[in-house]
């Protein structure tokens, strides 16, 4: 090679290095450890008055105000290795129903085309029991809600969609870190008798009867700026019981609030706000009620106590996270008709093939969970099993035989359509470097979760997967899933296992199939898509007809004012003549403001999403509304002059239009 060619190659090499250094950081293929990450958050608080809540199944438990607003928290992750992108959402909802995912997908398709699909979107619910219901397309979940409620559904779908759009526009070059550790004294097994039915040798492999591990992903921008986190920890958000009527995100929402506000997120629609998702895992038999069942008086305090424990553990894991996540992103998704899955002996442990059953709920389902929310129906209790009583002579003997120990109460799977419950359910596995997320459309008990994690880990370990997490209550909702042994005792969880005693074995079989396709980089059968029920919805909600005030009173007038002075630790109260809260939901806004007088004027210091405030709506007569606002004055609050504001909209009887109004308390001292 001549000297001229050597010089030419040398300068070309220098030019290459210069181009690499000056390249856009989003285009440099540092695929060994860097990802693209976007975070987004949005308000999904539904109607706060007269809508039955989703969770405890009690028609009389209707919304009557707000303790804490509900949020959708979204993360978009893209690998710089294989360019694959995935969306993870944790929403402050009781469940994610198929209708919600379908609605979100439709909106995303209109905006982004085929960028986001059923395959690469994972929507998960934290499982709060204190939010408005009516957003499913299935009768079973809307029955106690008085049917489908379009306004609730639209707020949820639009809010989740908006959080994903925000994440999409925030996407940036980022580093991921993974950390995990045990969180003790924040949960207990609420069905220990059922758990003890599992084989002793299997139980002896684990030191605890619930999953105590919190696994956390930390996201840091390319410039070192914190972006957010998501962690998975198994515990029910049921500290707030069925006597509550204020919308709240319970313990997990409170943990998110603590972390986000600590990181400077003030919920003011800032596009790059820090997002902290405390997501759900295998919580099927895991209760937060260490003090006994919710009593209606200490519920919020208990929710905050469990929320603080999760926050403190997440903070410690976040601060010490130093293991970078490396590798690619991948995913597989398949629908399976669970009403008739043939289960091979490899998975059932039986000598012959067995099958899942058309969906049915048992008598123990109607009893509820004693520890978290008993139904108090006198003829139902946990542990009711088939004993050839009169209920065994009901007109579905074949179905009863398939469900074995379960006393069939509601044979929802015998419906000729899927109007009652969904039968084609999604199975999705997402991998992020060495982490695999298994999306479950049901609530999985502790041992159930352990078996699923082992099944998926066995398939994916050869391709570098070291950790498997259950992403509970994701993409759809079909009740609970227990082990075969737990099912036989028919506690609440077993009575709520829709597809019979072999449901877990069937899921392990199908999850193994999906994981194998992911491992081998092969496509997977998409399976039968769920039936579209959007045009078959019924609603029995009357809505708001009109608002009035008593003679001589205007909207926003004070009924009972605050005192003139308080000390930190006391609670300020004020009530107004107002209007129905459902006239305007104040999404990304607030029905109330706590304001402090400064030399520059009044400034807001608290809103209806802050846990020290509550707003309660109460109907007075036919068309009057009383609005009660409380502010539990924090111990560290600045001394000064404060006031409480309320804003709302009233509906006119004649024009049917709504009109804004506002009211404010007297000024009072805090000292």
Domains and CATH numbers, the chain: 34-336+425-478+506-535 (no CATH), 558-670 (2.60.40.2300)
Q: Does position 19 have pLDDT exceeding 70, yes or no? A: no
pLDDT at 493 exceeding the cut of 90: yes
Task: Give the residue, 394 or 25, on which the prediction is more confident.
Answer: 394
555 phi-psi bin (left φ>0, alpha ψ -120 to 50, beta other): beta
662 part of the active site: no
Q: Is the pLDDT of residue 534 over 80?
A: yes
Q: What's residue 498's pLDDT?
A: 98
Report yes or no: 126 and 249 within 8 Å, Cβ to Cβ: yes
Range with lowest mean pLDDT among 3-7, 325-329, 375-379, 513-517: 3-7
* Dist. CA 5–CA 9, nearest whole Å: 6
Pick from 378, 366, 357: nearest CA to 492: 366
- Mean pLDDT on 70-90: 97
pLDDT at 383: 84
Of the residues 90, 287, 348, 496, only one is catalytic, namely 287
Q: What is the pLDDT of residue 372?
A: 82
Mean pLDDT confidence for 249-261: 98
| pLDDT value of position 34 | 85
565-589 residue pLDDT tens:
999 999 999 999 999 999 999 999 9
Element (H, E) at 617: strand 613-620
* Average of per-residue pLDDT across 175-184: 97
pLDDT exceeds 60 at position 10? no
Q: Are 61 and 132 in contact (CB under 8 A)?
A: no
Please state, as a whole number, how many other Cβ atoms lie within 10 Å of the Cβ of residue 485: 18
Query: Which H or E run contains 252?
Result: helix 250-262
Q: Is pLDDT at 363 greater than 70 in this prediction? A: yes
Mean pLDDT of 623-645: 97
Checking if the pLDDT of 9 tops 90, the result is no
* Percentage of the residues of the chain whose pLDDT score is greater than 70: 94
d(CA 359, CA 337): 11
* Structure-block tokens of residue 1: 């090679």
Residue 371's pLDDT is 80
Q: Which of 223, 156, 175 is nearest to 77 (CA)?
A: 175
- In this predicted model, which residue has the larger pLDDT, 440 or 394? 440
What does the pLDDT look like over 224-233, one tens digit per residue?
Answer: 999 999 999 9
pLDDT confidence of 392, banded at 50, 70, 90? low
Residue 401: DSSP 8-state: H
> What is the arithmetic mean of pLDDT over 154-170?
98
- Report the pLDDT averaged over residues 171-175: 96
- In the chain the first and final C-alpha atoms are separated, in Å, by 86
Q: Which residues contact 356 (CB under 8 A, 6 or more apart)?
A: 338, 339, 340, 341, 343, 499, 500, 502, 503, 506
Q: How does pLDDT run across 447-492, given as a tens digit for each residue?
A: 999 999 999 999 999 999 999 999 999 999 999 999 999 999 999 9
* Residue 497 clears pLDDT 80, i.e. is over it: yes
Alpha helix positions (H), 467-605: 484-487, 492-495, 503-519
**pLDDT at position 387:** 66
- 470-475-476-479 Cα dihedral, nearest 10 degrees: 10
Q: Bigger pLDDT: 446 or 10?
A: 446
Decide if pLDDT at 11 tops 80: no
Percent of the chain at pLDDT above 90?
88
Q: What's the rounded mean pLDDT across residues 212-238?
A: 97
Between 33 and 142, name the one with better pLDDT: 142
Evaluate if residue 2 carries a pLDDT over 70.
no
Residue 378 has a pLDDT of: 76
Nearest CA to 278 out of 244, 313, 247, 245 is that of: 313
Q: Phi/psi of residue 444, each to 5°?
A: -105, 130
> What average pLDDT does range 141-157 have in this prediction?
97
**Do 59 and 40 form a contact (C-beta atoms < 8 A)?**
no
pLDDT, averaged across the chain? 93
Query: How, if at all, do strands 34-43 and 172-182 pair?
Result: antiparallel
CA 322 to chain CA centroid, Å, is 27
Does 1 score more than 60 pLDDT?
Answer: no
Predicted pLDDT at 368: 83
What is the arithmetic mean of pLDDT over 118-124? 98
């Amino acid at each position: 090679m001549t000297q001229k060619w050597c010089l030419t190659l040398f300068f070309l090499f220098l030019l290459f290095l210069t181009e690499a250094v000056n390249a856009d950081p989003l285009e440099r293929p540092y695929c060994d450890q860097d990802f693209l990450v976007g975070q987004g958050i949005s308000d999904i608080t539904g109607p706060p008055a007269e809508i039955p809540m989703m969770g405890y199944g009690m028609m009389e438990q209707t919304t009557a105000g707000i303790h804490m607003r509900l949020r959708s928290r979204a993360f978009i992750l893209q690998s710089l290795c294989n360019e694959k992108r995935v969306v993870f959402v944790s929403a402050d909802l009781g469940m994610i129903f198929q209708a919600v995912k379908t609605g979100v997908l439709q909106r995303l398709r209109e905006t982004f085309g085929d960028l986001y699909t059923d395959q690469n979107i994972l929507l998960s619910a934290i499982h709060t029991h204190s939010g408005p219901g009516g957003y499913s397309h299935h009768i079973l979940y809307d029955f106690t809600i008085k049917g489908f409620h379009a306004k609730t559904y639209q707020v949820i779908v639009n809010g989740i969609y908006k959080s994903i759009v925000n994440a999409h526009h925030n996407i940036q070059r980022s580093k991921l870190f993974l950390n995990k550790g045990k969180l003790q004294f924040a949960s207990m097994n609420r069905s220990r008798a059922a758990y003890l039915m599992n084989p002793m040798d299997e139980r002896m492999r684990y030191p605890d009867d619930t999953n105590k591990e919190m696994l956390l992903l930390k996201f840091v921008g390319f410039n070192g700026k914190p972006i957010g986190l998501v962690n998975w920890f198994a515990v029910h958000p049921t500290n707030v019981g069925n006597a509550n009527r204020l919308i709240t995100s319970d313990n997990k929402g409170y943990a998110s609030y603590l972390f986000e506000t600590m990181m400077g997120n003030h919920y003011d629609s800032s596009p790059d706000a820090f997002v902290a998702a405390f997501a759900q895992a295998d919580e099927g038999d895991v209760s937060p009620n260490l003090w006994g069942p919710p009593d209606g008086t200490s519920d919020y305090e208990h929710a905050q106590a469990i929320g603080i424990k999760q926050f403190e553990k997440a903070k410690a894991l976040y601060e010490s996270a130093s293991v970078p996540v490396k590798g690619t992103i991948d995913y597989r998704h398949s629908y399976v008709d669970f009403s008739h899955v043939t289960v091979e002996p490899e998975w059932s442990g039986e000598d012959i093939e067995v099958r899942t059953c058309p969906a049915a709920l048992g008598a123990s389902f109607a009893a509820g969970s004693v520890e978290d929310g008993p139904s108090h129906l006198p003829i139902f209790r946990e542990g009711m099993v088939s004993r050839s009583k009169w209920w065994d002579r009901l007109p579905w003997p074949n179905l009863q035989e398939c469900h074995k120990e379960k006393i069939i109460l509601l044979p929802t799977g015998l419906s000729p359509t899927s109007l009652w419950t969904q039968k084609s359910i999604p199975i999705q596995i997402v991998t992020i470097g060495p982490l695999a997320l298994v999306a479950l459309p049901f609530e999985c008990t502790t041992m159930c979760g352990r078996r699923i994690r082992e099944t998926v880990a066995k398939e994916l370990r050869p391709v570098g997967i070291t950790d498997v997490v259950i992403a509970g209550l994701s993409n759809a909702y079909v009740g609970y899933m227990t082990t075969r042994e737990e099912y036989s005792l028919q506690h609440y969880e077993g009575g709520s296992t829709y597809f019979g005693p072999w449901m877990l074995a069937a899921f392990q079989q199908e999850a193994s199939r999906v994981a194998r396709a992911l491992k081998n980089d092969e496509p997977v059968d998409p399976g039968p898509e769920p039936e579209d029920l959007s045009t078959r919805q019924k609603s029995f909600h009357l809505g708001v007809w009109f608002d009035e005030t008593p003679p001589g009173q205007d909207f926003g007038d004070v009924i009972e004012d605050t005192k003139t002075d308080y000390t930190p630790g006391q609670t300020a109260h004020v009530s107004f003549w107002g209007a129905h809260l459902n006239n305007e939901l104040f999404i990304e806004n607030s029905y109330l403001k706590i304001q402090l007088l400064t030399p520059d004027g009044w400034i807001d210091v608290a809103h209806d999403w802050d846990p020290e405030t509550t707003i309660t709506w109460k109907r007075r007569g036919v068309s009057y509304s009383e609005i009660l606002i409380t502010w539990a004055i924090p111990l560290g609050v600045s001394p000064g002059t404060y006031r409480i504001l309320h804003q709302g909209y009233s509906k006119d009887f004649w024009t049917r239009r709504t009109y804004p109004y506002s009211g404010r308390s007297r000024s009072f001292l805090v000292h």
